[in-house]
Structure 1
Amino acid sequence: MSEYPLVNRKQFTSTMRNDLMEAFNRLHEETRIPKSKLHDEAIEDLLKKYHYEIPEK
């Protein structure tokens, strides 16, 4: 178990196309926005696209 347990987040593993990962890494480096925050934003946009309700934070 981690020394710092996650309270407001859940960890998961996934894969991504190589070209998307390269662009994602560049976006992170250029904006200095944490990858987890960028990922949250992308999932929120996907849920909106398919008209799924986004739970309150």
Structure 2
Amino acid sequence: MSDLKNRTRIGNTVDNELLKKFKLLSQETKIPMSKLLDEAIQDLINKYNKGRK
């Protein structure tokens, strides 16, 4: 049983070069990859929801 109360595990594939850059960004900023991914997903939702009511 998972102890994650506010998070859900997902599985996906990512372009190799994007993943390298993503890991480096996480290391350089000291921000966990999961938090960076949350921010990126929120940005995409905001981008595609503009103009929708």
TM over 0.5: yes
Higher RCO structure (Cα 8 Å, ≥6 apart)? 2
Q: Distance in 1 between matches of 2:22 and 2:9?
A: 18
- The answer for unaligned runs of 5 or more in structure 2 is none
Stretches of 4+ aligned residues off by more than 4 angstroms: none
Partner of 2:11: 13
Number of residue equivalences: 50
Is 1:50 the equivalent of 2:48?
A: yes
More helix by share: 2
- The answer for unaligned runs of 5 or more in structure 1 is 53-57
TM-score by length of 2: 0.87
TM-score by length of 1: 0.81
- For the aligned residue pairs, the C-alpha RMSD in angstroms reads 1.2
Alignment counterpart, residue 28 of structure 1, candidates 26, 29, 37: 26
